[in-house]
Chain A
């Protein structure tokens, strides 16, 4: 395990706030400022909410990353929940099986620079997102 990783357990809605705060701290340290900090915190909020609503338990792993001279944050949201049967559908605006607006995952994708989702039925879901400094 990388020493620079920050792990935040997500078991209940209060943990979403903790994940947001940790992400803000890391992103500020990496060099993000202003609205980007809020944009990253909001994206974290959406994927963490997704864990609480659909999987009950999971974690968010935050780390600083580098690509050439560009610095960024890597966010991995992992759960061992039921998995997403139709990812294409889940990524469509307005689609929701839970108590949300159905904007969570597609919204998080719009907020970040990179967004990948992998899910296996009965095993869980992993969302990987990155945002780079401008």
Chain B
């Protein structure tokens, strides 16, 4: 099932659905890269709260989505990593270094808006 991407102001919001296959993830990356250009988006929220496993492939894909978005001028925040998923990721050796994360959607949006505002004021 493809991941729906919503636009809210300068932010794109993608909420993962359960049981994403590889093709859905690849398509999500392509669509986010395209939509950042079309909507001149400055930020992307990736909501993974429904996912009960983040394995090395999924983590690599999330990282590449965030990197792709950054090259297109948008910051990404990954929100909603479940506690058990976080524990398993650490034990496996997976990290999301350099990518913003937040507990839930609301916190993620705040973080993203603050980061965009900061860079607009000549921060970076």
Query: Footprint of B on A, CB under 8 Å?
Result: 13-14, 17, 20, 24, 34-35, 37-39, 41-42, 45-46, 49, 93, 99-101, 103-104, 106-108, 110-111
Contacts of A24 in B (CB 8 A): 52
Q: Does A39 contact B87, Cβ atoms closer than 8 Å?
A: yes
Main DSSP-derived SS at the A contact region:
helix
Closest to A18 in B: B19
The verdict on B97 contacting chain A, using a C-beta distance below 8 Å, is: no
Please count how many residues in chain B sit with their CB below 8 Å of the partner chain's CB atoms: 23
The number of A-B residue pairs with CB atoms under 8 Å apart is: 71
Q: A17-B19, A42-B92, A107-B93 are in contact. Are A35 and B56 (CB under 8 A)?
A: no
> Which one of A14, A49, A93 contacts B57 once the chains associate, using CB atoms below 8 Å?
A49
Q: Does B88 contact A38, Cβ atoms closer than 8 Å?
A: yes
Tell me the bound Cα distance from A84 to B13 in angstroms: 41
Tell me the bound Cα distance from A97 to B87 in angstroms: 27
The verdict on B85 contacting chain A, using a C-beta distance below 8 Å, is: yes
Closest to A14 in B: B21
Q: A46-B56, A101-B94, A103-B92 are in contact. Are A38 and B21 (CB under 8 A)?
A: no
